[in-house]
A and B are shown apart, each in its own frame.
Chain A
Amino acid sequence: MEKINQYVKSKTFNFRNLVNLYYDLSFLNRYRGDVVNELVNEIRNDSKALTALSAIQLLQALSRNSNALGHKEYMLIDLLLRNLSNMMNEFDTDQKAHIFKLIATLNLQFSPPRYRIPYMLYTLRPQLKESFDTCSEKGVLYIVQAYKYLPKEYPTDLLNEIKEMVLLTIQHSNSSIKSYFLLEFFFAVSELKKSRRFAEEKWKTLMDEVANRITHDDFMGRYTNMQKILETLYELKIHHEPTLQAVVTKITQSPEVAFYGTLYELLVAQRVDVTPMLDKVNLSLE
């Protein structure tokens, strides 16, 4: 840290080095004040120093420590948001979705100086709405994940359209959805506020597909993934019988029946009879 301070004081850096330094420091969650001061000064002196890539990098670093930002970091966010609006043409839809999530993660509605949702999120929403069908799976997930942080007064039309699109794809062309995406989408939706999640019937459509893949797809049928699915169902207080039965079938069909404590606990908590599975396991106390 001393060396970093010396480096910053010596003023031998260029803007790109400074952005990289701030990005790396954000992982350590240590004092970043001097670096932030220099970043603010540099952007104020010459806003052209800020490129599209460095803006995303700075937003990533800021969102990583969004619960512990200093006064100067909020000034930096303010500067970034002002400059970002001039750079929008340089970003593709995926990058816009990423920026949408990063800004939402900053929770600026709870923070000074303005205590409100940045205007940028309102300008990004129609742009994303127009072109989200060109987003990659990662881009779609970024948008859904962003809604976890957005306050209830923020319009949900974009989220609703995405949810509808995914459900329609599940119903009519389920093979075009990758299991990785389906699982992450399920987790992302489950983390939303209750009013933004699915209605019961739509949950059923999504969960039926998840259940179907547990027995037929190696990725979805991994023990860690099955455990995460059951944990999520438990937290949401959803009892989805086909998913529970799919997990039981997957465990019993596996050639080596092992004891997975948390997984069995979750099944028991959902009132599944685990006795036949326990009978197959070698319950040695050694």
Chain B
Amino acid sequence: MDPKSLTSLYAILTYIQNHKYDELEQQLLEKITSSSDLYRKGVWLSASYIKNNKTRDLILKVI
């Protein structure tokens, strides 16, 4: 999966809040925050159609 799709997937998982994806969501968060182009991912996330506390926190952290 390309980086943009991974960012999208993170936004979707934070919204659907299904416990079977909790681990995947955590892995995604780690992957996003440890990547070198963090700012770009923050921009993608801010342009996402999904907005909630988790995505907002991450956006504020990286931008």
Asked if B27 and A265 sit within 8 Å, CB to CB, the answer is no
Find chain B residues with CB under 8 A from A278 CB.
12, 16, 21
User: In the assembly, what is the distance between CA of A261 and CA of B8, in Å?
Assistant: 5
Contact among A259, A269, A283 with B50 in the assembled complex (CB-CB below 8 Å): A269
| A10 at interface by CB-CB < 8 Å | no
| A89 at interface by CB-CB < 8 Å | no
Contact among A266, A273, A275, A285 with B49 in the assembled complex (CB-CB below 8 Å): A266
Asked if B16 and A269 sit within 8 Å, CB to CB, the answer is no
What number of residue pairs across chains A and B have CB atoms under 8 A from each other? 50
How distant is A279 from chain B, measured CB to nearest CB, in Å? 9
| A175 at interface by CB-CB < 8 Å | no
Task: Report whether over half of chain A's contact residues are helix, strand or loop; otherwise say mixed.
Answer: helix
User: In the assembly, what is the distance between CA of A286 and CA of B27, in Å?
Assistant: 11
Asked if A285 and B28 sit within 8 Å, CB to CB, the answer is yes
Asked if B1 and A268 sit within 8 Å, CB to CB, the answer is no
Select from chain A the residue with minimum beta-carbon distance to B15: A268
Asked if A285 and B27 sit within 8 Å, CB to CB, the answer is yes
User: In the assembly, what is the distance between CA of A66 and CA of B31, in Å?
Assistant: 45
Q: A234-B49, A285-B31 are in contact. List 18 more A-B contacts (CB 8 A).
A: A261-B7, A262-B49, A264-B12, A265-B8, A265-B12, A265-B49, A265-B50, A266-B49, A268-B16, A268-B50, A269-B49, A273-B16, A278-B12, A278-B16, A283-B1, A283-B24, A285-B6, A286-B1
Could you list 7 A-B pairs, sorted by A, with CB under 8 Å? A261-B4, A264-B9, A265-B11, A268-B12, A268-B50, A273-B16, A274-B12
